[in-house]
C-alpha cells in the first residue's frame, strides 16, 4: 500500500484508493476451504437404517395407501391393481388432486430398486408427495 502525503492545505484530501488485496486473499482462502469441505458433507457409507422413534404424524381422514408386497404385487387400499393402471386408480380416488399425500407401504424384503421403480411410477403420474410408512418402535 503506497500513498503520497504532501504538505499544504490544498492536497490534504487523504487516501484516494482502497487496497483490496487483503480482502481478495481472505476470500480465496475461504473459497479453498469450502471447496475442500463440500465433498466431505456427502454421505456414501452403506448401512442398515434403524427403526424410527419419531412421533407419528396424524393421518388424514381417509389416506390413500399404496402397498408393495414381497412378490411385487401392487395394491391400492386392499385392491390389487396393475402398475399400468396405478395412475388412473389414484386419479379416481383422489379426485385428480395431485398435491394429495400418497402413503407407500412395502414389505421389508422388497429390493430397494423395486421400491424406487414404484416411487418413480408415482412421480411420473404427478404424485410428488409420497410418505413411506414404517412400524413404530415398540418401547420395551
Residue 139: DSSP 8-state: P
Q: All 3 cell numbers of residue 51?
A: 427403526
Whether residue 95 lies inside any domain: the answer is: yes
Whether residue 28 lies inside any domain: the answer is: no
Domain boundaries, position 117? 65-133
Whether residue 69 lies inside any domain: the answer is: yes
Name the domain count of the chain.
Answer: 1
Q: Which helix (H) or strand (E) holds 80?
A: strand 79-81
Residue 94: which CATH number?
3.30.420.270
pLDDT tens digits along 97-132: 888 888 888 888 889 999 999 999 999 989 988 888
Whether residue 57 lies inside any domain: the answer is: no
Whether residue 46 lies inside any domain: the answer is: no
Whether residue 51 lies inside any domain: the answer is: no
- pLDDT for 31 equals 93
Whether residue 9 lies inside any domain: the answer is: no
Q: What pLDDT tens digit does each residue of the chain (140 aa) get? A: 556 655 555 555 566 777 888 889 999 999 999 888 877 766 554 545 567 777 776 655 678 888 888 899 899 888 889 988 988 999 888 888 888 888 888 888 889 999 999 999 999 989 988 888 887 765 55
As a whole number of angstroms, the distance between CA 107 and CA 9 comes to: 87
CA atoms 91, 95, 97, 103: torsion sign:
negative
Whether residue 106 lies inside any domain: the answer is: yes
Amino acid at each position: 500500500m503506497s500513498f503520497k502525503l504532501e504538505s499544504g492545505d490544498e492536497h490534504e484530501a487523504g487516501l484516494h484508493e482502497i487496497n483490496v488485496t487483503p480482502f481478495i486473499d481472505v476470500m480465496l482462502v475461504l473459497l479453498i476451504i469450502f471447496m475442500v469441505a463440500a465433498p466431505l458433507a456427502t454421505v456414501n457409507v452403506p448401512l442398515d437404517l434403524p427403526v424410527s422413534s419419531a412421533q407419528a404424524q396424524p393421518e388424514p381422514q381417509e389416506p390413500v395407501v399404496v402397498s408393495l408386497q414381497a412378490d411385487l404385487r401392487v395394491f391400492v387400499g386392499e385392491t390389487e391393481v396393475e402398475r399400468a393402471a396405478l395412475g388412473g386408480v389414484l386419479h379416481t380416488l383422489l379426485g385428480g388432486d395431485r398435491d394429495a399425500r400418497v402413503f407407500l407401504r412395502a414389505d421389508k424384503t422388497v429390493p430397494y430398486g423395486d421400491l424406487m421403480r414404484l416411487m418413480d411410477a408415482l412421480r411420473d403420474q404427478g404424485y410428488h408427495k409420497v410418505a413411506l410408512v414404517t412400524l413404530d418402535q415398540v418401547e420395551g
